[in-house]
Structure 1
Amino acid sequence: MASQIISFSQFRENYPDGKVLSRNTGYNRNYGNNPYTGYDGSNNTPLFGAGNDDGRLPSMEKVIGVTLNDQRKAYPYSITHEKQVINDDIGNSPLLIIHTDGATSAVDAARIGESRESGSTGVFKHTLEDQKLSFFVKEGYIIDKQTRYGPLRATL
C-alpha cells in the first residue's frame, strides 16, 4: 500500500523509467488551464453543493484519505502540512503520512503553472523486517528513530 501526490519533476527524479499518459488524447484541450479556478481553498464553497457539511472540517479542506482493511481515516492538509510527518496506525497496520513542499495545486489559479504550492504527500506502511519504525523531521530531512537511516530529503 503506497499512495503519493508528487510533482512531475519529483516523479521524473524518483522514477526515471516511469511512464506517463500522453497529451495526445484526440481532444483539443489545454491541460495547463484550470476550469475550477480558486477551487483549492478551505474557505471556499463547493461548486456543486456538497449539501452534507457536518462541521468537523471546512467543506473544502483537502484531506489525505486512507482506507485499509475496511477502516478509514482522513488527515486534513492543514494538519499534515504543519506536522510534515505523522506516525499513526489503522488497526494493526503502522502508517507514515508525509507532507512536504514540492507539488503545485492543480485547481488554484487559472494557469496551473501560476498556482500556489500545495505540497507533496505520501502514505506508506512503515515497517522494516516486522519492526515498526517511527519518523521525524530534522533540519529538512526525514529520519527514522530506530535505525537512524537516512536522511531522506524532506521533499519526497
Structure 2
Amino acid sequence: MWDRQIHTWWQQLTGEAIIGELAGHRLPFIPPQIISWADFKEANPGALVLSRETGFSRLYGSNPYSGYDRVDRPPFLFDGDLDERLLPKERVAAFDIGDVSAAFPFRVLEVEGVVNYPVNGTVVVIFHKLGTVSALDHTLIVDSDDVDATGVFDANIDGERLTFSTISTNGDRFVDDQTGTFWNILGEAVEGEMAGKSLTPIAHGNHP
C-alpha cells in the first residue's frame, strides 16, 4: 500500500516503508484483537462503525474463500513441508517476548480457559473465550463456525503480579486470584477492587 501524501510504499504486514522518501521508517504498532461484535459493542457502546451504505453494491456478509479456515485442509498456495506437530491450519495464539517466540494452540486454550505462563522473564496471561465467528469459513459468514477469541496480556499491573482463572463454561468471566476482580476478554477490569484498570496487552496474532 502507499500513503497519499508522500506516495511512499509500505509493507502491510510489518508497517515498514520499503520504497520512497520514508523508506526504512516503520509505523507504530497498535496491538489488535479479533473479538466478537457482541464483546466489542459491550466494551465500546459509543463506538462508530463503518456503514454498509457505500454507494457500491457488495455482499458484505459473504466470504469468497469458503473453507479457508478449515484446520484439516492444506494451506492455500503453500507447497513446503508441513510441521506435523499440529494440524495444517490449526489456530494458535502467537506472540514474541523479546527474542523468544511462543504459540499456544486454541484447542489447549479452550480446555484451560486461562493460561498463566512465563515467557522470557515476563509472566503472561492468555484469556480464551468462545463466541467469535470465522470470516473465512462458509460462503455466508453468518453460517460460519466459531473460531473463538483470545487476549494476551502482561500479568503485572501497578507492580503486582496477578494470576487468573475462569469461572464459567464459555470463558466470559475471568477473575484474578489476588483481588477477586472480574476481567473481560480485552483485559479490562469490569467489576471488583481493580475495576477501571486495564492489563497491558501483548501484541499477538490468532494464526491458523
TM-score interval for Structure 1 and Structure 2 normalised by the shorter chain: 0.7 to 0.9
Q: State percent identity of aligned pairs.
A: 33
Q: Tell me, what secondary structure is at the counterpart of 2:39?
A: helix
Q: Is the Cα–Cα contact under 8 Å of residues 2 and 125 in structure 1 kept in the other structure?
A: no
Query: Greater CA radius of gyration, 1 or 2?
Result: 2
Is the contact made by 2:150 and 2:185 (CA closer than 8 Å) also made in structure 1? no
Structure 1 residues 50 and 30: alpha-carbon distance in aligned structure 2, compared to 1, 3 A threshold: farther
Are 1:88 and 2:88 an aligned pair?
A: no
Q: Which residue of 2 aligns with 1:148?
A: 180
Deviation at 1:20, TM superposition (A): 3.8
Gaps of 5+ in 1: none
- Distance (Å, rounded) in 2 between the aligned partners of 1:115 and 1:23: 20
User: Where do 5+ consecutive residues of structure 2 fail to align?
Assistant: 1-29, 188-208
Match of 1:46 among 70, 75, 88: 75
Say if 1:43 and 1:133 are closer, same or farther in 2 by CA, change over 3 A: same
CA contact (8 A) 1:38 1:109 kept: yes
Q: Answer with 1-10 or 36-45: which moved more.
A: 1-10
Q: Which has the higher contact order (CA 8 A, sep 6+)?
A: 1
Counterparts of 1:95 and 1:50 in 2: how far apart (Å)?
34
Structure showing the higher strand proportion among its residues: 1
How is 1:1-150 mapped onto 2 (pairs within 5 angstroms)?
3-23=32-52, 28-140=57-169, 141-150=173-182
Report the alpha carbon displacement of residue 131 of structure 1 after superposing the two structures with TM: 1.4
Residue number in structure 1 paired with 2:3: none
Aligned-residue RMSD, C-alpha: 2.5
Measured after TM superposition, the shift of residue 100 of structure 1 is 0.9
Aligned residues: 155
Name the aligned partner's letter for residue 162 of structure 2: L
Q: What is the CA-CA distance between 1:79 and the residue it aligns to?
A: 1.1
C-alpha change, 1:155 and 1:133, in structure 2 (3 Å) is closer
Q: Alpha carbons of 1:24 and 1:34: their partners in 2 closer, same or farther (altered >3 Å)?
A: same
Aligned AA (1:70): D
What TM-score, normalized to structure 2? Answer: 0.65
Distance 1:27 1:73, change over 3 A: farther
What amino acid is aligned across from residue 174 of structure 2 in structure 1?
I
TM-score (norm 1): 0.84
Q: Tell me the alpha carbon deviations over residues 20-77 of structure 1, each in whole angstroms, 9 at most, x when there is no partner.
A: 4455667654221111212222211112125131222111111111122232111111
Q: Which residue identity lines up with residue 177 of structure 2 in the other structure?
A: K
- Give, in whole Å, the separation in 2 of the partners of 1:45 and 1:14: 36
